[in-house]
Amino acid sequence: MKTNINVNIAQAAAVAPESAVKALLPEAADALAKVDNGTGAGNDFLGWTDLPTHTTQAELEDIIATARSLQKDCEYVVCIGIGGSYLGAKAVIEALSDSFAAYRIDYTNPKVIFAGQNIGEDYLFELRNLLADKKFGIIVISKSGTTTEPAIAFRILKEQLEQRVGKEEASRRIVAITDAKRGALRQLATEEGYKTFVIDDNVGGRFSVLSPVGLLPIAVAGYDIMALMAGAAEMQLATKEATLENPAVVYAATRNALYRAGKKIEILVNYNPKLHFLAEWWKQLYGESEGKDGKGIFPAAVDFSTDLHSMGQWIQDGERTIFETVISVDAPEHETIVPTDNDNLDGLNYIAGKRVDEVNKMAEIGTRIAHVDGGVPNIRITIPALREQYLGQLIYFFEKACGISGYMLEVNPFDQPGVEAYKRNMFALLGKPGYEAETAAIRAKI
Ligand code: PA5
């Protein structure tokens, strides 16, 4: 099956020629089989692989009905979560939203605001201020139900909501997405009678955007989750065979070929500011999946042409350990033409009458040629437009490629032992019960 996502590796050929990529096909095939058949490390976390085709119509309709209820009751919906319980929804909503939605008073759906993704005191203070006279609801998302950042945000905003509308109405405006049985959030949701959705045990946080974790906030923001899932299902079917027709195999094999040739850093590039958070989601997906056992491509991201004016020098001329993966959107949603100016004082009349996107595309091509000439291999991923169906395809493509790539790297792509270290130290410093021994040890290091 063909999808609308195209992966072009021709401009990576100076370091990873097609022959090198083809030579990795047997390894990629083996890795793909591990993902599809569940025969590799971390195989108890492969539930994400068939979310697009196994999520039922009834489950999607339940999510949509819950979203409608929040839309009806709220001007703002605060989506509380961090990491995999935050980035997927943020990425899709930003990609699909009007860039100035936050400033528009004519916006019909509730504005989705994110919290619990940091511990910024001013952030929470200012959020409480914003919500002080607004009708708002809360979606609280935590798979473990015990993560500190969202737990703090939820405690603060739950108190505010209850004070404003009373406990009973607040319980109607809070939806919890968490483990089926375990964790403090599950217990709280049961006691308070919140509407809940389950994050299945076999779906890890960074692979959870196509579960209620991502789908509910995306639906609340007004976007078509049926189309998103349909696109993801198309990519699920298109990434089954171990051939160069499979875009996930091509991407995984090429980036591993580049890594083995000394390209240790991958920079995800976009030429559309709406993709900034898709790159943040991608960074978590690849960073947490591959960065372990002393290995892993370092995932970085830039927004072009903005960052050509800050990172462009380094990329063109710095240490030659990088490669670029560009996500290029074929067509913008709206047309804006550069006007003619009779005085032409800015000298821009040579592009008068052209669409802004044509200028952007020339920036992309010019940059690609300059960077490839400067020793930066380039993988180009094209997507027809920022629409739900194509984003669904893109998300599943990156997830599948991540599983394949992680196995090719010979790591377990589905655990994240390194994320725990900071938490232990923070708990010890804060004096959390049970961390007494660590408290003494860490205080000695300050
Ligand atoms: O990918 C992961 O597992 C992490 O980034 C988690 O999503 C993040 O730590 C949040 O965890 P939780 O959903 O349990 O609150």
For residue range 317-356, list pLDDT tens digits in order.
Answer: 999 999 999 999 999 999 999 999 999 999 999 999 999 9
pLDDT of residue 144: 87
| Residue closest by Cα to atom 9 of ligand 1 | 83
Ligand 1 lined by 143 (C-beta under 6 Å): yes
At 264 the pLDDT is 98
pLDDT attached to residue 108:
84
Average pLDDT over every residue of 190-219 = 97
Contact by Cβ (8 Å): 285, 400: no
Q: C-alpha distances in angstroms, 435 versus 12, 426, 432, 442?
A: 49, 10, 6, 10
Averaged pLDDT, 274-286:
98
The verdict on the CB of residue 183 being under 6 Å from ligand 1 is: no
Question: What confidence score (pLDDT) does residue 205 get?
Answer: 96
Quote the pLDDT of residue 36. Answer: 98
Q: What mean pLDDT do residues 391-408 have? A: 98
Q: 1 C-alpha vs ligand 1 centroid, how far in Å?
A: 33
Which of the residues 22, 134, 167, 423 is marked catalytic? 423
- Contact between 244 and 22 under an 8 Å Cβ cutoff? The reply is yes
Which H or E element spans position 79? Answer: strand 76-80
Query: Looking at ligand 1, which atom is closest to the CA of residue 150?
Result: 15
CA-to-CA dists, residue 35 to 10, 214, 242, 297, angstroms: 27, 22, 12, 20
For ligand 1, is residue 85 a contact (CB within 6 Å)? Answer: yes
Cα–chain center distance at 232: 14
Q: How many angstroms separate the alpha carbon of residue 433 from the centre of ligand 1? A: 22
192 is catalytic: no
Task: Select from 204, 216, 212, 230 the least CA-distant residue to 284.
Answer: 204
Catalytic annotation on 371?
Answer: no
Tens digit of pLDDT for each residue in 130-171? 999 999 999 999 998 889 999 999 999 999 999 999 999 999
Count other Cβ atoms within 10 Å, centred on residue 256.
23
Tell the residue number behind the tokens 């299945």, with chain if given: 200
pLDDT at 107: 81
Cβ of 403 below 6 Å from ligand 1:
no
CB 74 within 8 A of CB 137: yes
- Ligand 1 touching residue 117 (CB < 6 A): no
Determine the average pLDDT of the residues in 217-246.
97
Q: Is the CB of 289 under 6 A from ligand 1?
A: no
Ligand 1 binding pocket includes 378 (Cβ within 6 Å): no
Span 119-127, average pLDDT = 98
pTM for the full model? 0.97
Question: Is there a contact between 157 and 115 (Cβ–Cβ < 8 Å)?
Answer: yes
Crossing angle (nearest 10°) for helices 388-408 and 25-37: 110
Give residue 140's pLDDT. 98
Average pLDDT over residues 5-25: 97
- Provide the pLDDT for residue 340: 98
Q: How far is the CA of 147 from the centre of ligand 1 (A)?
A: 8
**What pLDDT shows up at residue 322?**
98
pLDDT for the residue 280: 98
8 Å CB contact between 128 and 63: no
Atom of ligand 1 nearest to the CA of 147: 15
CA atoms 41, 45, 46, 49: torsion sign: negative
CA 144 to centroid of ligand 1, rounded, Å: 7
**Are 251 and 381 in contact, with CB atoms under 8 Å apart?**
yes
List the residue whose alpha carbon is closest to atom 2 of ligand 1: 205
Give the pLDDT band of residue 423 (cuts 50, 70, 90): confident
Query: How many CA atoms lie less than 13 Å away from 272 in the CB half-sphere?
Result: 27
Tell me, in angstroms, the distance from the centre of ligand 1 to residue 86's CA: 9
274 carries an active-site annotation: no
For residue 416, give the ligand 1 atom closest to its CA. 3
The predicted structure's pLDDT at residue 105: 83
What is the tens place of the pLDDT at every residue in 44-79?
Answer: 999 999 999 999 999 999 999 999 999 999 999 999
pLDDT tens digits, 236-258: 999 999 999 999 999 999 999 99
* Active-site pick, 149, 234, 280, 288: 288
Beta strands in 214-346 (DSSP E): 265-270, 298-303, 322-329
**How far, in Å, from the CA of 406 to the mean position of ligand 1?**
19
Indicate which atom in ligand 1 lies nearest the CA of residue 207: 1
Q: Is the distance from CB of 239 to CB of 249 less than 8 angstroms?
A: yes
Report whether 16 contacts 9 (CB < 8 A). Answer: yes
Q: Is the CB of 206 under 6 A from ligand 1?
A: yes
Q: What pLDDT, on a 0 to 100 scale, did the predictor assign at position 1?
A: 77
Does the Cβ of 82 fall within 6 Å of ligand 1?
yes
Instruction: Determine the pLDDT at residue 102.
Output: 87
CB distance 208 to ligand 1 below 6 Å: no
Measured in Å, residue 423 CA sits from the centre of ligand 1 at 12
Q: Is the pLDDT of residue 438 over 90?
A: no
